[in-house]
Structures are given as structure tokens and as C-alpha cells.
Amino acid sequence: MSATTATAEPLVPAEIVSSVFYGAAVSDGLVLLVAEVVDGTPRIVWGNEGATQLLGYGTDDLRWLPVASLVPSLRGAETGLLLRRERSARMNLSVRTASGALVGVLVLCTPTPGGRTWTLQVVPADSGSERVLRATADAHERRLASLAERSPVPTLLSEQGMRLAHVNDAFCSLVGLQAEQLLGTGWMATVHPEDLDAVIEQVVAVLGGHDGETRARLVRADGTERTTVIRLSQLFTPGVGAGFVGTIEDITDRLAFEARLEHQTHHDPLTGLPNRTLLAERVAERFRPGAGGLAVISLDLDDLTVVNESLGHAAGDELLVEVATRLRATVRPGDLVARPGGDGFVVVCADLDADAAVALAERIGAALAQPVRLGGVDVRPHASIGVTVQTAAHGTAEELVRDGDIAVCQAKAGGKGRITLLDQSARAEARDKLRLVAELREAIERREITLLYQPIFRADDRVPVAVESLARWHHPQRGPISPAVFVALAEEGGLIGALGLLVLDETCRQLAEWDRVLGDAAPQRANVNVSALQLDDRLHGSVVAALDRHGLDPARLQIEITESALMEDPASARAVLVQLRDLGVSLAIDDFGTGYSSLSYLRHLPVDVLKVDRSFVAELADGHTEIAAAVIALARSLGLTTVAEGVETEEQAAQLAELGAGFLQGFALARPMTGSRAAAWYATHAR
Amino acid sequence: MTVSHLVIPGAAVPTTPAATPSSDLEAVLSSIDTMAAQEPTAAQIVSMVDSDDTDARTLARILTSDVALAGRVMKLANSAYFGMRGRVTSLQVAVTVVGFPTVRTMATVALSGLDDESRLPEGFWTMSTTVALAAATLAPRFGQRPQDALCLGLLAPLGVALLHHGDREGYAELAAAEPTAAGRRAAEVRRYGIHAFRLTAVALEQWGFPSSMVTPLGAVDDHGSQDGALLRAALEVATRLTVEDHVPVPVEELTGGQLGEDAVVAVLDRVRAEADELRVAMLGE
């Protein structure tokens, strides 16, 4: 709305008008023409120097030239568009020069106030900033398009909104369509309908000046889907607006690979069933505290070991696969079948009460009991099945699964092939045990397991020669817990290694401290009990480390091992004992006579001492000396010494000395004491 | 250089009143100027030259003072044509989506009263949106930007509205008597001294639209010129879609061989499908 009608300026002095006119007339940088209607035809009546130069007419030739013949593109009445009476006009036109050539110009035409005469300013059209801009933008776009065209990365170029101006070959082949089908908004049909909104959201963000990225599925022409990551950036065209450049990364294969890995880490490779980790996750997903309704059916195959050992592991695997197949076929749709490991399977069902769960367990038992042919033999698989139903007492999913384990243990304890619904008292007991194991673990970590030391005396002169380390656990709420209880707990809970190390280290530390405090009066040896589960390659290293740590000679330590522990795997036990003996540590067999030792084997074990069990010592009071006497005699004949445990009276002590026991230990002689009390006791007795 | 033979302007030349242009045309041309005063926001947007300086934020800010126009821009941005499916909620993004030339085109529509269908010849918008979409769809085949072609198509019939506005009955008679586009243009020249597209070109030029918009309008009848080829093809597509007994003119002829009939057939359905929505978005109804 720029043009306005020019008005005359009557007050300008004549000299100035004349000066301006002269300047305009002789200017060759300015092209000026004056037109007037002569005999009904608009004609040029004047032109300046610039006009004669541009148009190639002499001044006389220019005069009276019809405007229409100067601007041939304005046909007929169209000259009126240029020669307006009330306002100025601007038009891009072609003017015809004297030679007949057409020159592109911009004409600015201003009428004089009378409306009969017009001044025309003619500006030769140069390259024009608009054209340059446009050409630059076009070239830029072409470069970008050709770059994208050659790129192996599927690429989209949008001109406006979601409308594409270009797609490259890589994108076309990704979706299996021709470029023509994708341009404009055509490509939107390739985006999965559920993902399209997310893509548009990102485009909105990008058009608002941010970068965008989203995951989207693309549906190929053949109907298959590819999962992609679409990354978007703004593409601004000056004077026009903004679109986007989108690059597409096809992550379908990567996701599939990750999914495979994920599947492998969460599934049993043999049966394809969820493993323990996934079982826990799935149960947690379904578990609602207090809601009830979940049932866990745990199975333990009774025959797997037999099959493995008799028909081979391939047959065992075949059996497991068959069981998995039967389980899947027997449970309801939606029930979860998992194989947490070994010979165990778990079925988790929603909305099932105890009766229905037991009924399902029975169906499972029946389905499993059908014969399966393995290695040419018909085997009838049996499983012990434990059924647990969620109650208000179950605070977490883990508790429910754990109860499943307890239930199956109960079933197994009752004999093979049984189905047991979890007994509440057994659950309470098992839970209590689990809690105690957790507390024991903490107690060991915090070194709250303390040691008492009971002196061992030479039988003939009652001189204290050693101490036995006895572990004690004082539970903050339950009070003292019997070693028989917590050692068994440690063995079941996998804590025996840690407990053993604690006892070994603390004993050595105490010995070293006694050495410092008492000098020569310090106990010369300490006996440490070792569990059957500690009898492995690591024991030797642990003993060496403890002795080194506290600067003790190996002779200061005696390791006590129960008879039953030695007999679990005599060959490997012997190997461990030989290592210890070579180190210089002495060895004792604890509770001798309570197990079933092979005497011939005993002969080959590198032991130094037999400890006569306290039960045989107790019999002495009743006049039964036979076993104690026999053990002492046996030891002597094997060249071993004996320690009689549980000596509670002076009479027993005298009797045992008479029977030939080498050493005595018991309440009658000295009670177990703390390390510091023992130091005081030894200080007194040394004097 | 000499300064001889100078003639003083306005002196000593016999004059007679102009035979042409007709007074009607003069009135039509004058009306172009008075429109601006009635639609100041639209006028401001139209006068913003499309340059590097134009930015979405400024355009959006100006647009907010014309609720009706802003609403149409939002509606168009969310129309099926741009594929944004109603997700555009900010005017600035809407301006970016439709593009600055389109905003300017919409402002021109508002400015020239094209948004009031009661003042337009029957079927005006059906025709113009069809031309616009045909032009936009075919643009890549002519190496042109679809957005520019869309704007050109939308504004091309502006001259028809202007002629109709100044001479409602006369124009209706003329239109009824001349069913073909070329015939009508010839009749317009006979009656008004100018045909409608040329008049559009004059108005757009007056408002500072770039020559890429103006030139094709002037060249629409010059079959030897490639400048008008896209517009001729788009007009032909639109006529085939909107005029019942139209005898198709081969597009090879209209485009100097740049376009074949198969290309036209391929776009017919898409143009027909999108034209109505574009019309609704442009008119805000």
C-alpha cells in the first residue's frame, strides 16, 4: 500500500524547479519519460538523456511515440493500468527499444494533479535481489536434496508441516514405495497409526525451533513393520518458513538382537520357560498385597537324578522339555509356567483359591505321570508338588514364591509324588528360619559372633595345654542361640565360610594378644572347629592367611573336624587334611564314636587326636566305661592321643585319667571364658 | 550531452479525453487501495515483503490482532493438507507450517473481501481452491515450489472477484455466455479492457508481491511462454473437476509438452479430496 498520489509543491522557488529539471534532463543514470493523451492516444511527449540512451531513440523520435508501442505487453486498454489518473502505479514490464529489442524494466508512473500528464520513471530490471535470494535458496535446497539423495541414510525433507518435498532412495527402499507415493503427506500412511501422533508432536517441536527425536514403526508396502528412530531438525528457508530434515535409523534388527539377549537372560534355554529372575518379575507384576487370589504351585521332579545317572543327561534334558510341554498344556491360558532351575518348575495362577489350586496341582500330577519314552525306556515322571495360596500375611511377591519353595519341601519330606498345601505352622517356622539366617549374616558381618575359650588339660598333671574356641551368638531379642542351631543355619544359609573365617581369624588374634599380655604363660595352642562344608581347597589358604596376619606359628593351631564331616567325602577330606598337616597344623577328630567311621580309613587319615564324645564320658557316671575305654584304646593303638570332652565331675576326670585319656576338657576343670577372662585365668594358673 | 529539443511537459500538446480504460476499471483499481484501510492487520501482513527478515514470531504477533485471520491460519495449519492432525496449537508454529507466503495470501484474501462468499460469483472458492491444489500438486513437475503455486492458485481468481464486485449483473451474464476459460478472458477484455488474471496481476504487483507470483498471471494466455504453463495446467485440472460439460483441453498443448495426460489423471483424485477442506480452512467456516 505504498503508492500515493503526488502533490505539487507550489512554494518551491523557480530557480530550484529549474535546477532540478536540468539535473533530471541531463541525467543518464535516471530514465524519465513524460506521457500525455494526445488525440485520444497516450503518447510520450518528453524523455531525458537517460531515456534516449536506454531506448535508443533520438529525442525527436521519442516524441509522440504511442505509449502502447513502447510497452507492447500492455495491450488495448491495459495502458490504463499504468497511466492511472488518481494514483501512481508500478509495473514490471518489457519496453521495446528502437532496435525492436525488449528490455525488462520496472516502471513507476505518477500522474500530475491535473490527471492529463504522467511522469514515468523507468528502472532497468537488474539481477534483482528477489531473484538472487530465490536462486540462492533454490540452490541451497537443491544441494541439500542432492546430498540426501545420495545418502544411504533414509532421509526426508519437508517443505511445510508434514508435507515432504523430497525423499531419498534409501527411504523409498526402507518402506518399499515410490517417491511419488510419499511426497506431500503420502509418507504419513507409512507411519504406524499408533506412532503418528508422536511423530507429529516432534515435528511441531522442531517447527517451534527445537530438535526432535522419536521412535516410530514404519509399515512397509508389503505390510511388514520396521521400528525406527526418526531424528528431526529444522530447515529454515528465508522468507518462506520452515520445514524439517528427518533422518531415519532402522533399529529393527538391533531391537530383535536385544530382545533375543533379553530373552536369553530371562529364560531357561532348554525349555524356553521364564527363569527365576523373570518369574520374580512376573509374580511381582501380578502381586497385589492383601488382595489374595494368586496361587503358586511348585514342583520338584523326583526322578531327574535317576534319569540323568542311568540314561544320561540328554535323556534328562528330554524329560525336562517334556515336562515343560505337559505343564503348558495342562495349565489355564494366562497361567505362568517357569523353570527357576534344576529339577524345579513353578506355576503361578491368578484368581485361584486353595481347592482349585490343589485340583490344578492334581491335574498336573496326573499329566506328568503319563509315561514318557526316554532312551528306549518308558519312564513315569513323578513330582512332589507344593501348593501355596496368597493370604493377607504375604507382604511381598517374594514371600509368596518362597512359600512355594517351603511347600514343595514339605511335599518332598512327605515322600515322592505328593501334593501338599502349605501348612501354616511350617510356613511360620520356615519364615522364622529365613529371618534368623538374615540376622546371622548381619551378626557375622558386624563381628557380633563372639568366642569363648575352654582350657584343655593334660590328664596326668592337670596342666592347661590348650584352649578350644567356641563360637557364641547372643541375639539381641532372642538371647543366646545355641551353636548347634546357628552353625546349622550357617550351613544351610551359605554362611559357613564366613563364620569359619571369623572364628579362625578371631582365635588367631586372641592367641597373639595372649602372647603379648602373658608372654610364656599364654595358651600354647587353640583348637578351632571346622565344618564339613569348609573342607575344601580354600581351607588351607584361609589358615595360612590367618596365621600370617597375626604372626603365629602353625603349631599353635589345631583344627577339629567332626567324624561325620570327614566321612562325607573321605578322599577329598584327606587331601585337605594332608595339606594342613604339611603346614604344621595338628588335627583332631571331634565327637569320635558318634559317626560311622571306617576304621581302615581312619588309619590313613593324617590326624593327631581323637576327641572322646561327651556322651561316652557321661556314661561313666552310670558305670558304663566300655565305649570310652575302647575309644581310648583304639587311639592308643593307632598312635593317637585322646581328649575327653564334657568332663563334669572330678570322678569322671579321675576315671578317664585311669583309662588312659591323654587330655581332659569340661566344666569340672574350667568353664568356657571370654578372651580377657581367659588371660586372667592363665595368669593365675601360671603362677 | 545536449539539452536541446526539450519539451515542457503538459504544454503545447493537443489532448482529448481517454477512450480507454473504461471508468469501470478505474473504479475497480481504486477499490484495491481502499480495501487496505478496512483491514489494517491484513494490510500490514500483505505489505511485509517476503525477505530474510520475515520471521514466524513477528508474523504471529501481528496476526494476533486479527482474531478471524489468526483462526483461519490455525485452521489451515491443522488441515489435512499439511498433515498436522490438529496438533498445532501455537500460532507461531501455525505460521511456520503454512509458510509465510501462505499467510500473506490469506491476508490478501481477507483484505480483498474474498472471505465473504455472498459478494463472490457462485462457486468461486471451489474453483480457486481446486486451482490452488492442482497448481501445488503439479508444481514439482515445473520445478516450482508447491507453496508458491498454492498461493498463486488461491489468488489467481482475485480479478474475477474484483470485476464481479464492480459489475455484478454484467459479469454474471458474461460468465454465463462464455463457459471456456479462454473465451471468458476474451470477453473480459472486450467488456473491461482487461481480463481477470491480468487484473489480479496488477493488484498483486501493486501490493508488492514478487514477480514469481505476478508473471504467470500475465502470461496465462501466452501459450508460447513457459511462465504461465503451470497455471494453465492447474486451471484445466480445476475446470475438469468443477465444470460438468467441460471438453478437456490436452495438457500437452497447454504446457508446451511439459506435462502429459497421465500426470493429470494421477492428481485428479487427490486434488478433489483436499479442495473442500482447504476451502473450509481458508474461509474459516
Return the pLDDT at B2. Answer: 34
Fold match, A14-126 / A130-254: yes
More confident residue, B229 or B274: B229
Cβ–Cβ below 8 Å for B147 and A241 = yes
Domain ranges of chain A: 14-126, 130-254, 269-422, 444-686
Question: What span, in angstroms and rounded, lies between the C-alpha atoms of A613 and A666?
Answer: 11
* Residues A359-413 pLDDT 10s: 999 999 999 989 998 888 888 888 999 999 988 888 888 888 888 888 888 888 7
**Widest CA span in chain A:** 164
Q: What would the mean pLDDT of A639-645 be, rounded to a whole number? A: 92
H helix or E strand, kind and range, residue A104: strand A102-111
A80 Cα distance to chain centroid: 80
Per the CB < 8 Å rule, is B205 touching A90?
Answer: yes
**Complex confidence, ipTM:** 0.78
Among A78, A134, A238, beta carbon nearest to B194? A78
Of A328-337, A573-582, B42-51, which gets the smallest average pLDDT? Answer: B42-51
List all residues 6 or more positions away from B151 whose beta carbon is below 8 Å from its beta carbon: B101, B102, B104, B105, B132, B213
Pick the CATH number of A14-126 from 3.90.226.10, 1.10.8.50, 3.30.450.20, 2.30.30.100: 3.30.450.20
CATH topology of domain A444-686: TIM Barrel (3.20.20)
Q: Spell out the long-range contacts of B176-179 with Cβ–Cβ below 8 A and sequence spacing 24 or more.
A: B179/B243, B179/B245, B179/B246
Which amino acid, one-letter code, is at A96? R
For residue B9, the model assigns a pLDDT of 36
**Cell numbers representing residue B158 in the block:** 482475485
Please say if the pLDDT value at position A348 is more than 80.
Answer: yes
DSSP line for A507-553: HHHHHHHHHHHHGGGS-S-EEEEE-GGG-SHHHHHHHHHHHHHHT--
In this predicted structure, the answer to whether residue A252 has a pLDDT above a threshold of 60 is yes
Q: Give residue A506's pLDDT.
A: 95
**CA-based nearest residue in chain B for residue A108:** B206
Cα B179–B181–B186 angle (5° rounding)? 95
Q: How far apart are CA B208 and CA B104, in angstroms?
A: 11
Helix or strand (DSSP H, E) at B189: helix B181-192
Q: Kindly report whether the global pTM for this prediction surpasses the value 0.90.
A: no
Q: Which CATH superfamily is domain A130-254 in?
A: PAS domain (3.30.450.20)
Q: Could you say which residues from 117 to 136 on chain B have a Cβ atom under 8 Å away from some Cβ of chain A?
A: none
Domains and CATH numbers, chain B: 23-31+105-283 (1.10.3210.10)
Q: How many residues does chain A have?
A: 687
What are the chain B neighbours of A79 within 8 Å (beta carbons)? 20-21
Beta bridge partners of A592: A612
Q: Is-contact B21 A76, C-beta < 8 A? A: no
What CATH number belongs to A269-422?
Answer: 3.30.70.270
Chain A residue numbers touching B30 (CB-CB < 8 A): 86-87
Q: How far is CA B24 from CA A182, B15, B161, B170, B192, in A?
A: 48, 22, 14, 11, 7
Residue given cell 518551491 in the structure block: A12
- The per-type count for chain A, helices as H runs and strands as E runs, is 26, 26
Q: Which of residues 42-61 of B touch A (CB under 8 A)?
A: 43, 46-47, 50-52, 54, 56
Question: Who wins on pLDDT, A198 or A78?
Answer: A198
| CA dist list (Å): A469 to A229, A507, A609, A679 | 66, 7, 16, 14
Give residue A130's pLDDT band: very low, low, confident or very high (50, 70, 90). Answer: low
CB A523 within 8 A of CB A682: yes
B248 at interface of A, judged by CB pairs closer than 8 A: no
Rg from Cα positions in chain A:
52
d(CA A97, CA A102): 6
